[in-house]
Amino acid sequence: MALFYVNTSWYLAILSTALIAIIYLFAFFFHRPQFPKGAPPRSFEDWPIIGSPQFFTQHGDFNLRGLAMSASNHFSFYLGKHQVVSIGASGRKTYFENHHLNAGEGYATLFTGTPHRQSGAEVAIDNGEYQSKFGKTLILLFKKAYLSRRTPILAADVKGIMESLIRKASNQNATMKPFENIYHIVWQQTNRLVGADEIAASPEKLDHIMRLFEDISEGASPLRVMFPMLPTFDHIKRTVAGARLYGMLQGLVNDRKRLGRQEDDALQFLMDAGEDIAGITGFLAGGLFAGQLNTGVNAAWLLIYLATNKTWYNKIQKEVDSVLARHGVDQRRETSKIIDILSRFGLEEWISEFPLIDLCLKETIRFQLPGTFCRKNTSGKSITIVGSDEIIPKDAFAVYLTDNCHFNPDIYSEPLKWDPDRYATGRAEDKKGQYAYLGWGVGRHSCLGMTPGWRLPWSSHFS
């Protein structure tokens, strides 16, 4: 009979090594640094290891509960290993003015769930350090001369879509789908302003690049935020979409160089500036994301609010009619003829002729500006929250719920009522205090993309 002898010392050594490795890996992936003394009180909803997934699933309510339970109106919580401080209304001066609270770094982690250092197309999309360069490039691109040259092209795009809608309207009860029709108008215009004309002029390319952006956006899962090294399926799909976007833009650049073709668009501007394909991908991705995420949604919601508010609908219709009358337009003309005349307006007309539409847009943004702002403390030390003795720890993230301002009854009367008149002279509720309105960005992060392009869909529609 054969006997097998097990060397228990070797067995115990292997078992001990495996146990130590497991403990080390567990500590490496799941150990969370303790909040230092002076940090706001911890949320009672924090879980071990994962932190507070309610930040994603019950976003507004979670923040409001945490702010309410804290005497200082600030509180702390974890997202995986990330330390996060939610700042209340009293801390908004620190939040929006401290130059060590970096928006790019904040969104790169909490919005996309992407580790700070990556390669390829995702660097261009997610790298927080890229934000400064993006802003400078946008300022250089959006000169008055460029916007003036783009305005007739933008107007022609809107004219074509509006005429198509008119042809489809077979009777007075015909309807339109704002989140489809208007969203696609804004997507095309955004590509005209910060993209490439080859894409904007092709419905097939527009749909293709929109699907790529949807894959990239949907890949930003809460799991990736809490556990950045986790290879989720959505993240893989997101990476593939980023690579396809990179390849698509590389093909456009190569075609222009091969054919010696010059265009007057953002892609050509970047090529002439000597930007490489990674930089081009980054700028176009950043511009398209920022423009569509905000402008496309708000454009659709504005039409919905006006459709349910007869008083303001009539005010806007009267404003558009008055503009047409000042330009010598006979209101008895066919609608298609009126749209044709509107499409000939220049940059100055779109900037100055529609103040009531501006008020409606401003109120729509107050209602629809989503969730929280995200920042990261990049100072290398703790930051004191002005007005309190509490801190934002070194390397921690800070978030600010827009409801602190936009639905604050101390600032806005009847905050749940859609009322553009609240911004009119005499009321000016958005001027009641510093940072009372966050829609165009505030402090060190004002919106760089405010252009007349977004006025075209609404004005043409109401004509």
Position 224 scores a pLDDT of 78
Rounded to the nearest 10 degrees, the angle between the axes of helix 277-291 and helix 178-194 is 150
pLDDT tens digits, one per residue of 93-122: 899 889 899 888 888 788 754 433 333 333
State which fold the 122-369+439-462 domain adopts.
Cytochrome p450 (1.10.630)
pLDDT tens digits, one per residue of 297-306: 888 899 899 9
Instruction: State whether residue 47 is helix, strand or coil.
Output: strand
Question: Which residues lie across from 401 on neighbouring strands?
Answer: 372
| Residue 421 contacts residue 359 (beta carbons within 8 Å) | yes
The phi-psi region of residue 371 (left if phi > 0; otherwise alpha if psi is between -120 and 50; otherwise beta) is left
Between 122 and 330, the more confident residue is 330
Q: State yes or no: pLDDT of 18 exceeds 70.
A: no
Position 15 scores a pLDDT of 61
Percent of the chain with pLDDT over 70: 80
Position 84 scores a pLDDT of 96
Place of tokens 């899962």: 221
CA 220 to each of CA 123, 210, 288, 300, 374: distance values in angstroms, whole numbers, following the listed order: 14, 16, 16, 24, 15
Percent of the chain with pLDDT over 90: 34
Measured distance between the N- and C-terminal CA atoms of the chain, rounded to whole angstroms? 99
| pLDDT confidence band for 1 (50 / 70 / 90) | very low
CA 403, 179, 333: angle at the middle one, nearest 5?
Answer: 115
| pLDDT confidence band for 445 (50 / 70 / 90) | low
In 195-264, alpha helices (H): 197-200, 203-218, 222-226, 233-259
Least confident of 50-54, 236-240, 253-257, 454-458: 454-458
Instruction: State whether residue 173 is helix, strand or coil.
Output: coil
Please compute the mean of the pLDDT values over residues 385-413 and round it to a whole number.
93
Give the count of beta carbons closer than 10 Å to the beta carbon of residue 244: 17
pLDDT tens digits, one per residue of 191-218: 999 999 999 999 999 999 999 888 887 7
Least confident of 20-34, 77-91, 343-357: 20-34
| Residue 360 contacts residue 420 (beta carbons within 8 Å) | yes
Between 158 and 291, the more confident residue is 158
Question: Which residues lie across from 87 on neighbouring strands?
Answer: 400
Q: Within 13 Å of residue 237, how many CA atoms lie on the same side as its CB?
A: 14
| Residue 262 contacts residue 302 (beta carbons within 8 Å) | no
Contacts of residue 343, Cβ cutoff 8 Å, sequence gap at least 6: 152, 155, 156, 158, 159, 460
Residue of 375, 396, 374 lying closest to 38 (CA atoms)? 396
Report pTM: 0.82
Between 292 and 362, the more confident residue is 362
**Domain boundaries of the chain, sorted by first residue:** 8-117, 122-369+439-462
Mean model confidence pLDDT for the chain: 81
- The helix, strand and coil proportions of the chain, stated in percent and rounded to the nearest 5, come to 60, 5, 35
Q: What is the spatial distance between Cα 108 and Cα 116, in angstroms, rounded to a whole number?
A: 7
The phi-psi region of residue 417 (left if phi > 0; otherwise alpha if psi is between -120 and 50; otherwise beta) is beta
Q: What is the spatial distance between Cα 294 and Cα 291, in angstroms, rounded to a whole number?
A: 6
State both tokens at 230.
């986790």
CA 181 to each of CA 134, 323, 343, 452, 461: distance values in angstroms, whole numbers, following the listed order: 29, 25, 18, 19, 11
Between 370 and 341, the more confident residue is 341
Position 297 scores a pLDDT of 83
pLDDT tens digits, one per residue of 47-62: 888 889 999 888 889 9
Q: What is the spatial distance between Cα 404 and Cα 162, in angstroms, rounded to a whole number?
A: 38
Q: Within 13 Å of residue 56, how many CA atoms lie on the same side as its CB?
A: 18
